[in-house]
Structure 1
Amino acid sequence: MTIAVFPGSFDPITLGHVDVAVRARTLFDRVVIAVAHNSSKSPLLDAETRVRLAAEATSHLDGIEVATTDGLLVDFCESIGATTIVKGLRGGADYDVERPMALMNRSITGIETIFLTGDNALSHIASSLVRDVARHGGDITSYVPPGVSTAVLDALEHRS
């Protein structure tokens, strides 16, 4: 059985994330969406909410599951028997950020990273932009799976 890990902060999960997970699933028997803690970010949504929303967004899809991870991604991959990390790319800037991480992960444990280019129709969607649009009163429902918009708006309301 081939297992891939699709890591990210998923703050919040977007339709672009779901698209990458679905396409990764066509390449691997099992895809684990790893909701990670990124020490350089201050998330809007807590980890439990991000995991719940990702699980709800992919609950209808066989072979895709959601877990949380903290620490080295390669350690998480080894703990579940994953052989590959999957990263979605919207454009060249994403590649410039992701390439050094892929090289570091491979140098630590030999785990490979594959890059899937995002669907062109979704390539403008980024979690940070979704949060910003919501923060300024815009409608984000066409960028996120059902239920995510409500969670984002609730989190923003509790922050103010």
Structure 2
Amino acid sequence: MSFRTFNWSLLVFSGILELVALYCLVCLLYSHCVLGGEYGISVWAYTYFLPVFTAQTLVLMLFRMCGQTIGLDPIATVFNLISGIMCIILALILLFSMWAHCSNEFAIFFFVSGSCGLIAGILHLCNGILCLFFMPPEEAYVLHECCILHFVFSNIHFLYVMLGII
């Protein structure tokens, strides 16, 4: 299997897991424990970021089928790294809050949503790290001219500005 096929497969699996996590998260929004305010930031932070990452993953997956280097460029690499880290952090927060507080019929939705988000985050990180090594030379010059941390921090700042946090 070539790297490009493996890259696309990781995107497909990440997208499917994010869709399942998003479905379970939407089911959670109407539960009495979320509507009653027992869960605050753990559910709402996940609700805030997961749809964004899911939409970008699906768009990247569709464009990846059409182009040779799409998904291997610095922007896609940084997206995979940032979304992987954020998915892991947010899924762990959701799982820890569920573990500490939830003992009702909605516990399965917390568990499935958090677990799928955690696995999707790990797949995003794997994809981002592999893309760092297999990036085509015509795209990789950007990483040599500028530090990768500059891209990461500028994209995080851009994400915050777009979401209205800053």
Instruction: Please state which structure has a larger fraction of its residues in strand.
Output: 1
Larger radius of gyration between Structure 1 and Structure 2: 2
Choose between structure 1 and 2: higher helix proportion. Answer: 2
Q: Same fold (TM over 0.5)?
A: no
Q: Which has the higher contact order (CA 8 A, sep 6+)?
A: 2
Using structure 1 for the length normalisation, give the TM-score: 0.28
